Amino acid sequence: MQKEIIVIIGGPGTGKTTIIDGLVAKGHCCYPEISREVTLEAKKQGIEQLFLEKPLLFSELLLEGRKKQFQNATKESHEVVFIDRGIPDVLAYMHYIGDSYPATFDAACREHTYSKIFILPPWEEIYISDDERYENFEQAKLIYNHLTETYQNYGYKLIEVPKDTMDNRILFILDEISK
């Protein structure tokens, strides 16, 4: 069987991390979102909000981290690997803030292709802001639109995960993978 590298995407506050944590608890191989790691590392270096202050640098660091996750996922012994956000997320966020980026970003999206993309729709009832998530719900909806458009531009068919309990969302994802 060919290895499946599956990405879970969505705007901020849609339940991605909760689903990844739930999949880990069920014994699945999962790679976490790395943007908080990049943000916290920048804070240690005295940059309060790297994404806001130096968006291109932030995006370059994310791109490198996500490419590394992809490479590591291809070497996993598991047949299915889940990743919280993929490489095209970087471009979607750059589109969202209206910033340009080098052609290497586009090349990275074309060179690293995922098996399936699950997208979580904006869900106001569970949306919470925190220290690393500064977007409000309206901005989260715009980001969702940019994610949808960016992934579709790379030829992905997005599978929307219904708003439901974490367990039901995980069952939906696992059921879709087994088809």
SS (H, E, C) 153-172: HCCCCEEECCCCCHHHHHHH
Rounded percentage of the chain residues whose pLDDT exceeds 70: 96
pTM over 0.85: yes
Confidence band (pLDDT; 50, 70, 90) for 30? very high
CA 1, CA 137: separation in Å to the nearest integer?
40
Residue 178, both tokens: 């087994």
The pLDDT of residue 129 is above 90: no
Residues 6+ apart with CB under 8 A from 126: 13, 14, 15
124: phi then psi, degrees, rounded to nearest 5: -60, -35
160: phi then psi, degrees, rounded to nearest 5: -80, 130
Residue 22, both tokens: 């739930």
Candidates 9, 6, 7; CA nearest to 140 is: 9
CA 115, CA 117: separation in Å to the nearest integer?
7
For residue 39, the model assigns a pLDDT of 82
CATH 2.40.50.140 fits 4-177, yes or no: no
